[in-house]
Chains A and B, each alone.
Chain A
């Protein structure tokens, strides 16, 4: 049995003492919203476990998830790949290509049937027999189904895999379909965002590897620990929202004072993600902090909600019929007012003519 390098070995090699290692574990446990008793379990797991095999597939996507993943500062992406997981297949990073690459898939199934994690970036298109995304001469969806059949659990990276994202925006010409609508019989952890935050990605992986179980998920299948609250709930500009202080246009006086971006379309009030707490790229900033409203990129179908620069957005009523709440509402109210006025006029006329005809009737009868 060859020696398996654990995460702890790696940290030691980086010159990190056992004390610092335990501190890392308790910080990570706290970061994941877990009690202090979990720090010990985390440490034990990281010290002893061999690396979990991960197969990372790409469907229709833009590779922003992989790019985000390698931005992780804690833990470093290099340490995750070399020491925490065994990234046995990744179009973006693997040295092999062609049939040598595809062989690795079968080898993984052989060696780790039912044990590997299937990480899906992007989604399969179903139109044109799936041939809008061809891999090894075959539709991607076949590869996805095949690899899903033998996996232990699926991580749906990003909004593509979780919801469909940009290629599924109307009219979704390729019929790009999120993972949970194609794979029905495996546990799926959705990690939405376009892309998700790097530390959220590595945090989810750390949890799954260290505790050997799925993180607790919310109703929509997202890890509660990172998607439990809206950006708005923890936004540092929230006091300006409550006060009624808004940016009315980019780079105006309010923008320079860091006022709330709600009126220029910020979707923080309806977006579940960890941007306002963990922030991006090592906790440096996040969209709102740098002056642009949240696009709502971790939310289902955020592309089809109308302008990114308006608080009141569009609704999909049915099929491809879209409605803007403002227009529908305004039309309704106007219709009511006009209708009432017309009806009142009708009533008056009707009553007057009614009286006249009644009088005429009485005259005739009389």
Chain B
């Protein structure tokens, strides 16, 4: 290949200089990106390789399906709980278990809190340093910073003294010579566009967000016992509600519910007064950096999330709707059926796995995983010291999921586009208002910044949804319903011998599905298709490229040695590699154990 056009309409040219970025830091897991630059340092070819595999679904075979949530929860500790939720949903679906209304509300509250937590940590701790120059903050005027802060929000921590304190602390930190996590980075690069005051404000909020994030997760602590990795149970939630009888101190009681309510208020304040204003302020300085759209203007997918009514995962119930958009046609939103063998399929022609026939994709219920590590013929380096991957061969531990054969982008931006296209009033109004404030057209969303902005807007929408869900739950408890779990079919002796189920919804990073096959009360087959597998996917047999690869194309780099632009765009997806790289072995098939070092 020198120059080709992919079926999904992207031009690839690998003739220029190759730049390798490995590891990509400030993500979950291990990811490698390689790009080819043309003579103007513009990215003309991009390769995304997931560089870890844990084999979790192989491990799940033969186990008690009621335990699966705990295993799958450990797929990821950043988006903790999202796999657990889809897992209990899949098992409940297979066994025909209906959960009580309170369990649905509690799950919604936990999932909303999870999304917001994830978005906040992503924005400040994993993504901000792609836009914010910490060193430049040292030369900021605290008084001007204070004025800037007060002009964009009514957040109380805004005095000149406060910013001056933070700045002094930073100065001492830098003067100590031990730069820690800020060492050897790209400070001073012309790719950074914020004035010093905005840098100081954002750096200050980096620290504030670090303090805030440990608060919002307390919603998990109350209902799930801890965070990360709260507890769940097939059939509902393990936390009982006891509002008025003796013993209430040992369960969810009025005092705990009050803490949840306060946490929701805190969250609304932080997101609306810190996160969103910061986002808009930063975005306003990068308005002309409109790269990184990639697949977002073409194919997006969402399974929908936050069912308002228990046991109803249709668009009639989902607060965030499901759907798929193809070729950027916002006027048509397709319905998605995760059970349909023709819709969701995974390919492995460029993944380190083997299928009997790699030209075809397999639906998760029929999935095969047979790991086969090996580099393509044009790779440089050795088997255990890769200098350059060969994207013509196998090059990633990720499979390539496709929807009706199309590479899809998933995540907050996809959800927002689908909700917008479906005419969801609250979301449409929020998007239109924000675009108007920044004086940008809708197309501006199809970009790296659009992805980052959608995440922030969604956090605000979610924070306010938490309040609604909480109020609904309190109303339900007031009506006298305190049930949190349905244990009728908890005992395996009540199960049918051969059943299949699917749990699906939206994780912070996008569409997540778990497919389970239960036979003789044990897991026969288990498969997850997760957001980062969609986004960071390698190529498929038709040559379609995934969302990461597509988004990097045509981006100019200021300095080929400093991968700031690559980090920016890849980070805008919030990569989660532990999630994406763990696939299943075919029913009963044994994994080849490879020689031990």
A residues bordering B, Cβ < 8 Å? 2-5, 9-10, 13, 50-51, 53, 58, 60-68, 70-73, 76-78, 81-83, 85-88, 90-98, 100-104, 107, 125-142, 165-167, 169-176, 194-195, 198, 236-237, 249-252, 255-258, 275, 280-282, 284-292, 295, 297, 303, 306-309
The residue of chain A having its C-beta at the shortest distance from the C-beta of B581 within the complex is A132
B residues bordering A, Cβ < 8 Å? 20-30, 32, 51-56, 58-59, 64, 66-67, 70-71, 74-78, 80, 121, 125-126, 129, 134, 165, 168-169, 172-173, 175-186, 207, 210-211, 213-214, 217-218, 220-233, 235-242, 245-247, 249-252, 256, 259, 371, 373, 381, 383-387, 397, 482-485, 487, 490, 562-563, 567, 578, 585, 591, 593-597
Q: Are A94 and B169 in contact (CB under 8 A)?
A: no
Number of A-B contacts (CB under 8 A): 364
A81 to B: closest C-beta gap in Å = 6
Contact A176/B54 with A90-B181, A284-B259 known, Cβ cut-off 8 Å: yes
Chain A neighbourhood of B490, CB < 8 A? 249-250, 309
Contact A2/B177 with A97-B21, A290-B231 known, Cβ cut-off 8 Å: yes
Q: Are A307 and B64 in contact (CB under 8 A)?
A: yes
Among A62, A76, A87, A252, point to the contact of B211 (Cβ < 8 A): A76
Chain A neighbourhood of B32, CB < 8 A? 134, 137
A327 to B: closest C-beta gap in Å = 14
B483 to A: closest C-beta gap in Å = 6
Among B169, B184, B221, point to the contact of A82 (Cβ < 8 A): B169
The residue of chain B having its C-beta at the shortest distance from the C-beta of A53 within the complex is B178
Chain A neighbourhood of B385, CB < 8 A? 137-138
Chain B neighbourhood of A10, CB < 8 A? 169
Q: Are A72 and B214 in contact (CB under 8 A)?
A: yes
Q: Are B52 and A133 in contact (CB under 8 A)?
A: yes
A66 to B27, CA, bound (A): 12
Chain A neighbourhood of B178, CB < 8 A? 4, 50-51, 53, 86, 88
- 12 further A-B contacts with Cβ under 8 Å, apart from A73-B214, A95-B134, are A5-B169, A64-B78, A71-B213, A91-B26, A95-B129, A100-B186, A126-B596, A129-B384, A173-B58, A173-B59, A251-B483, A257-B246
A127 to B165, CA, bound (A): 51
Q: Are A3 and B172 in contact (CB under 8 A)?
A: yes
Chain B neighbourhood of A176, CB < 8 A? 54
A121 to B: closest C-beta gap in Å = 10
Q: Are A285 and B226 in contact (CB under 8 A)?
A: yes
A101 to B20, CA, bound (A): 13
The residue of chain A having its C-beta at the shortest distance from the C-beta of B233 within the complex is A250
Q: Are A291 and B238 in contact (CB under 8 A)?
A: yes
The residue of chain A having its C-beta at the shortest distance from the C-beta of B563 within the complex is A98
Q: Are B51 and A135 in contact (CB under 8 A)?
A: yes
Chain A neighbourhood of B383, CB < 8 A? 129, 131
The residue of chain A having its C-beta at the shortest distance from the C-beta of B487 within the complex is A249
A314 to B: closest C-beta gap in Å = 10
Among B381, B591, B596, point to the contact of A171 (Cβ < 8 A): B591
A268 to B24, CA, bound (A): 39
Contact A82/B77 with A71-B227, A134-B30, A291-B240 known, Cβ cut-off 8 Å: no
A82 to B169, CA, bound (A): 9
Q: Are B30 and A64 in contact (CB under 8 A)?
A: no
What are 26 A-B interface contacts by the 8 Å CB criterion?
Answer: A2-B176, A64-B228, A71-B213, A78-B211, A82-B173, A88-B178, A93-B25, A95-B26, A97-B21, A97-B26, A98-B563, A101-B23, A134-B30, A136-B23, A137-B386, A142-B384, A172-B59, A173-B59, A173-B593, A249-B487, A250-B240, A285-B225, A290-B221, A290-B231, A290-B238, A303-B59
Chain B neighbourhood of A290, CB < 8 A? 221-226, 230-231, 238-239, 252
B576 to A: closest C-beta gap in Å = 9
The residue of chain B having its C-beta at the shortest distance from the C-beta of A94 within the complex is B181
Chain A neighbourhood of B58, CB < 8 A? 171, 173
B596 to A: closest C-beta gap in Å = 6
Chain B neighbourhood of A258, CB < 8 A? 247, 249-251
The residue of chain A having its C-beta at the shortest distance from the C-beta of B28 within the complex is A63
Q: Are A251 and B210 in contact (CB under 8 A)?
A: no
Among A68, A251, A306, point to the contact of B487 (Cβ < 8 A): A251
